[in-house]
């Protein structure tokens, strides 16, 4: 059965723990209609989803970031304090995190690793293999699909097949895994500690976005874009390029109708991000720092809770969010991420050096030169989304119709009249006050 939707009426002053402005087959028309007659601020919030789909951004550390509706951070996702003296390297941190799971296994807990074959989830499996005994590994299952085999066939055959219990991720959602007695462990926050591929999409395709810049600005970018991880070259030197990159519709999102390019939106989004960066609790200098901070700070909540909220139909959001483990949310990884910018650990040169520290850690076990040198980022979640069985859910309850959760962990749907009223009220009153 669907988790309980018998909630109190949503009042206009209700504070949310999570919100979701997204374009998909269930919400496209809803947000298009909201856009038509809302305020410029409300249109801007919707346009973020049009550009970056979705807009689930909220600041984790208290740095400036306004949302249309009152919103707070789920306590477990608040950013840890910055420690400039933190010295552990990525491998040491990974081993120590694995040991915390080892201790919990010895207390009787079982874990299911949500494994895609990508670098982040492979790192988790490597850490457990390296630090747990053969007997302890019997309490670990691998929740995966054939796509993971395609993504990393060598690793699957050598380290997973016939060595772990395998759960089919295409037919088992997070709630199914929990109901089988496992604690799901996700790698969804892995991108957040290394810096988003959103930045990589600019570093290696910059000419597309620089074509309308002044000759002077184009020349500067051409001569300096390779310095994206140079802390002596401040990201603001790339302001013109970033505005062009953020402008619509450089990254068209299905299934929305075409929308006009908007340099003004690009400017407003840059200024909003810039205000957040300027008030950050962590040093942010290089262009890659800039993109890293955006995902590490304002997007990490989205990455962490999406599994519990959108691949779960039976377990209440409070229980699911706190049951699901986010491997890279561990304070050791967060502090490593804060103190290892611009040293080649996150990205060294080309796109295939993205997440270099994790590549090296995996290599210490599998000695797979191809994976270490050539593995690129792939989208792993899309197939799971399209394969979900929604036959037992009405339109009010399908995952893609969910708008957010309150501080009481009540689930909200765009099909509910009080939710519609709440969204419209706050969009109409949202102000562009950061420029």
* Residue 250's pLDDT band (cuts 50, 70, 90): very low
pLDDT for position 251: 46
Q: Which two tokens stand for residue 189?
A: 């926050």
pLDDT exceeds 80 at position 4: no
Is the pLDDT at 340 greater than 50? The verdict is yes
Q: What percent of the chain has pLDDT over 70?
A: 91
> CA nearest 239: which of 264, 274, 211?
274
Which CATH number describes the domain made up of 90-192+315-386? Answer: 3.40.50
CA distances from 294 to 12, 16, 19, 282, 432 (A): 29, 21, 17, 12, 19
**Dihedral sign for Cα atoms in the order 177, 76, 313, 328:** negative
Q: Residue 5: what pLDDT?
A: 67
pLDDT in tens, 57-74: 999 999 999 999 999 999
Return mean pLDDT, the chain.
91
pLDDT bracket for residue 383 (50, 70, 90): very low
Q: Which long-range contacts (CB under 8 A, 24 or more apart) does 263-271 make?
A: 265/44, 265/47, 265/51, 266/242, 267/243, 267/435, 268/44, 268/432, 268/434, 268/435, 269/48, 269/51, 270/239, 270/242, 270/243, 270/246, 271/434, 271/435
Task: Provide mean pLDDT across the span 336-350.
Answer: 91
Residue 386 has pLDDT above 80, yes or no: no
> Sign of dihedral through CA atoms 133, 138, 144, 147?
positive
Report which of residues 130 and 375 the model is more confident about: 130
Return d(Cα 356, Cα 185) in angstroms, integer. Answer: 22
- Report the alpha-carbon distance of residue 20 to residue 357 in Å, rounded: 32
Q: What are 295-315's pLDDT values in tens digits? A: 999 999 999 999 999 999 999
Mean pLDDT, residues 275-280 = 97
Q: Which of 152-166, 195-209, 239-253 has the highest mean pLDDT?
A: 152-166
Percentage of residues of the chain with pLDDT beyond 90: 80
357 band by pLDDT with thresholds 50, 70 and 90: very high
The confidence score (pLDDT) of residue 96 equals 98
According to the model, what pLDDT value does residue 141 have? Answer: 98
Asked if residue 269 has pLDDT above 90, the reply is yes
Q: Is 316 exposed, middle or buried (0-12, 13-18, 19+ CB in 10 A)?
A: middle
Sign of CA dihedral 133, 138, 141, 145: positive
- In the predicted model, is pLDDT for residue 384 greater than 60? no
CA nearest 294: which of 136, 63, 33, 11? Answer: 63
């Amino acid at each position: 059965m669907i988790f309980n939707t018998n909630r109190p009426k949503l009042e206009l002053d209700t504070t949310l723990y999570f919100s979701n402005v997204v374009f998909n087959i269930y919400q496209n028309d809803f947000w298009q209609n909201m856009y038509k007659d809302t305020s410029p601020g409300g249109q801007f919030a919707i346009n973020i989803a049009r550009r970056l789909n979705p807009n689930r951004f909220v600041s984790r550390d208290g740095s400036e970031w306004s949302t249309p509706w009152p919103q707070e951070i789920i306590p477990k996702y608040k950013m840890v304090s910055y420690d400039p003296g933190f010295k552990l390297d990525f491998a040491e941190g990974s081993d120590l995190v694995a040991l915390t799971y080892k201790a919990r296994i010895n207390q009787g807990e079982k874990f299911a690793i949500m494994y895609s074959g990508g670098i982040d989830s492979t790192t988790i499996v490597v850490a457990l293999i390296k630090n747990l005994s053969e007997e302890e590994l019997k309490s670990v299952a691998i929740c995966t699909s054939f796509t993971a085999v395609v993504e990393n066939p060598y690793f699957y055959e050598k380290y997973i097949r016939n060595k772990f219990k395998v759960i089919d991720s295409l037919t088992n959602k997070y709630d199914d895994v929990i109901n089988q007695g496992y604690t799901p462990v996700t790698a969804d926050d892995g991108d957040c500690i290394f810096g988003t591929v959103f930045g990589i999409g600019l570093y290696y395709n910059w000419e597309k976005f620089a074509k309308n810049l002044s000759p002077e600005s184009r020349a500067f970018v051409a001569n300096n874009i390779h310095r994206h991880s140079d802390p002596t070259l401040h990201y603001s030197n790339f302001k013109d390029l970033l505005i062009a990159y953020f402008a619509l519709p450089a990254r068209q999102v299905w299934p929305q109708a075409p929308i006009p390019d908007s340099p003004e939106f690009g400017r407003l989004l840059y200024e909003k991000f810039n205000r957040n960066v300027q008030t950050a609790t962590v040093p942010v200098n290089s262009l890659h720092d800039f993109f890293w901070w955006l995902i590490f700070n304002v997007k990490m909540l989205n990455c962490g809770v999406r599994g519990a909220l959108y691949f779960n139909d039976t377990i209440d959001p409070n229980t699911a969010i706190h049951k699901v483990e986010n491997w890279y949310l561990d304070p050791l990884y967060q502090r490593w991420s804060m103190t290892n910018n611009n040293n080649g650990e996150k990205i060294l040169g080309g796109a295939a050096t993205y997440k270099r520290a994790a590549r090296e850690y995996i290599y210490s076990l599998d000695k797979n030169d191809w994976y270490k040198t050539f593995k690129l980022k792939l989208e792993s979640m899309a197939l799971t989304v399209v394969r979900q069985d929604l036959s037992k859910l009405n339109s009010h309850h399908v995952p893609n119709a969910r708008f957010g959760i309150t501080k009481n962990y009540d689930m909200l749907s765009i099909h509910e009249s009080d939710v519609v009223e709440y969204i419209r009220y706050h969009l109409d009153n949202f102000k562009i006050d950061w420029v």
